A and B are shown apart, each in its own frame.
Chain A
Amino acid sequence: MTHSNKRRQVDYQIIARWVGEGDRVLDLGCGRGVLLEYLKQKKSVYGVGVDISFERILSCVKRGVPAYHGDVGALLATFDDNAFDRVIFSRSVELVDDPDAILAEGLRVGKRVTVGFVNHGFWVNRLNFLFKGQRTINEVYPRAWYETLPSNPFSVSEFDAFCQARQIKIENRVYLSGNWTSECTVLPNALAGYAIYDLSK
């Protein structure tokens, strides 16, 4: 198992912790459907994935994961309030055009919302900028700025401030340290490499 697979699975275990048996789950930015396949196996969920890449939708078809090829916002708008038990954004909030509106839609359509994100306030990122004046290139951010999608990275404290401003309730949260395996309990904005939030309206 590669290091990144291991990391991914820790992430999945925490996401699965907050998913109920047989829940209806919507995974926005589902990629190749690996998380939904995992949740289907572990929790017998009815899961739907959404992605903008045809290749990734094809992978979902291979996995037997129902998937919608298209825009996250347009699909969310077609669902009734609380249509899903849980809406998941796993490393996808930073990629959407209007995160504020999309998260509000996610909270309307899902009874609960999971947001997993890379903490941009992680100390390594800070040191890289402080000493090199450059963004970090590592396993998490393997590519240079000109090879990546437009992205809107944010930190743990920025996300906390957003939840407070929008009166979004944080039901649970887990921080992972820089190796993404052990949990991080102190100074998460500086010491957490990854954060997973469980939100409700």
Chain B
Amino acid sequence: MNDSEAAQQAPAEGEVGLVESQDFVSNEPFQFESGGTIPELSLRYETYGHLNAAKDNAILICHALSGNHHCAGVHSMDERKPGWWNFVIGPGKPIDTSRYFVICSNALGGCSGSSGPYSINPKTGQRYRLDFPKLTVRDMVKAQSLLVDSLGIDCLHAVLGGSMGGMQTLQWAIDFPNRVGRYIAMACCARHNAQAIAFNDTGRQAIVRDPVWDNGNYDPDSPPGHGLSVARMMAHITYLSDAGMEAKFGRKRRSVEPGAEHFDVEFEVESYLRYQGQSFVGRFDANTYLYLTKALDRFDLHSPVSLDDTLAAVTAPGLVVGFTSDWLYPPQGNREVAEALLRLGKDATYAELEMDFGHDSFLVRSPELYNLIRTFLDR
């Protein structure tokens, strides 16, 4: 059974099913950490489950770099793929929507409907492009907090996320200690190491050296696809692992058509990555990619004060999860956060999962991870 056949069936029990995105709009100017402002803030988001009367059962999910607010269910019965964390979120699932009210917003700066370089500046009627203010993870969290305000929620039962979502999660626990009941930061770090910055910048260079990019002034209908797809292909490799790629592709070959050129697709892995790069161009904005990767490179819990001093603000119990095969945000970077929390006498737990799927392990079906998330959320 392929994906399209699966989607044609009615949502089975345990699925959130059909969902609709909503828009949160604040007409107040939004000020960024860098000092820049935008005249109004818009965040696209989805919710699943029901907010209880006490408004204390809300869970905020923070998505990763290329993710968005659509993390569970389908928008229409024809949708090929449900939201990116569908197997974790739903009635009876690890994040149980029969108990919890789940919120996920497209991050500030994102290109799936929230204010960002790709969105229209209401003052000019044009896309912000590079006029969008310099963006930080802290800005993303501040914007989310306004959304949470608008839903009438004082304290979230939990905040969780992986990768960029893990960084947002940590920032939530630091900036809004009284509003976070508990948190789970997965495949994250206190700051990028040189390797992570190097990969991000190589991706950015692929984009800005694509002549179509034109200082960010490209036509959205014909974006700098060469640059963006190469950036995505390279980044995608960093989300996998050697063992994972070997198991999935090895040296498997495509059937080569007669007359194929020397450098046309020959191996399965080439075909897979080219497809990943190409499909990314269709769903992601190049300027947004520049902004978000830069926000991640600049994220640094060791600055302006030490990591321990930064984390001293945290009060909620936390769970940090590293993955053995993650070489982008390796286990030691996750451990570093947990160790600092424990030095500070915080209620913190570190767990490390042995999975072959690299950085993207948190997006992969894993009974151990599910069990861990469910147990921590319910305790």
Contact = CB atoms under 8 A, between A and B. Distances in A.
Contacts of B210: none
Interface string B212-255: 00000000000000000000000000000000000000000000
A66 interface: yes
A201 interface: no
B343 A60 contact: no
Contacts of B351: 54, 57-58, 61, 67, 69
A127 interface: no
A83 B342 CA distance: 10
Contacts of B350: 67-70
B150 interface: no
A61 B342 contact: no
Nearest to B338: A68
Nearest to A65: B349
B348 interface: yes
B339 A61 contact: no
Contacts of A64: 317, 379
B348 A66 contact: yes
A141 interface: no
A78 B343 contact: yes
A154 interface: no
B352 A70 contact: yes
A58 B352 CA distance: 11
Contacts of B343: 78-80, 83
Contacts of A46: 345
B322 to A, nearest CB: 9
Contact of A54 (B338, B345, B368): B368
A61 B372 contact: yes
Contacts of B353: 54
Nearest to B353: A54
B52 interface: no
B347 interface: yes
A86 to B, nearest CB: 14
A107 interface: no
B339 A24 contact: no
B335 interface: yes
A58 B369 CA distance: 10
Contact of A78 (B339, B346, B349): B339
B372 A58 contact: yes
Nearest to A75: B339
Contacts of A57: 349, 351
B352 A54 contact: yes
A60 B348 CA distance: 11
A40 to B, nearest CB: 11
Nearest to B332: A74
A151 to B, nearest CB: 23
A119 to B, nearest CB: 32
Contact of B379 (A62, A69, A79, A80): A62
Interface centre among B343, B351, B371, B375 (most CB of A within 10 A): B351
Nearest to B340: A78
20 contacts: A46-B345, A54-B351, A54-B353, A54-B354, A57-B349, A57-B351, A58-B351, A58-B368, A60-B349, A61-B319, A61-B372, A62-B375, A62-B379, A66-B349, A68-B342, A69-B349, A69-B350, A69-B351, A70-B335, A70-B352
Interface of B: 317, 319, 335, 338-339, 342-343, 345-354, 368, 371-372, 375-376, 379
Interface of A: 24, 46, 48, 54, 57-58, 60-62, 64, 66-70, 75, 78-80, 83
